Amino acid sequence: MQPRIADHAPQTQDEAPTCNLPAEHHSVYCPTCSSRLVDSRCKLVCKTCGYFLSCADFY
């Protein structure tokens, strides 16, 4: 198998790679199964495992 050759110019030290994805806070993911939590009124609920986080838990 032949190694792939990059089809772009190599980066220099001054050129840092950029990420176009928006940063998300870790609290929107379930701490049990890592699925995304769904907003349901005053709760964040995991549809995969049933974990929930109440708005009272933030205080």
Question: What proportion of the chain, given as a percentage, has pLDDT over 90?
Answer: 34
Here the tokens at position 41 are 């009124």
Report which of residues 57 and 28 the model is more confident about.
28
pLDDT, tens digit, 9 for 90 and up, residues 28-55: 899 999 999 999 888 999 999 999 988 8
Can you give the pLDDT at residue 35? 95
Question: Which residues 6+ apart lie within 8 Å of 56 measured at CB?
Answer: 42
In DSSP terms, 40 is beta-bridged to: 43
Say what the alpha-carbon torsion angle 40, 46, 51, 55 is, to the nearest 10 degrees. Answer: -30
Residues 30/47, Cβ–Cβ less than 8 Å = no
The single-letter code of the amino acid at 43 is K
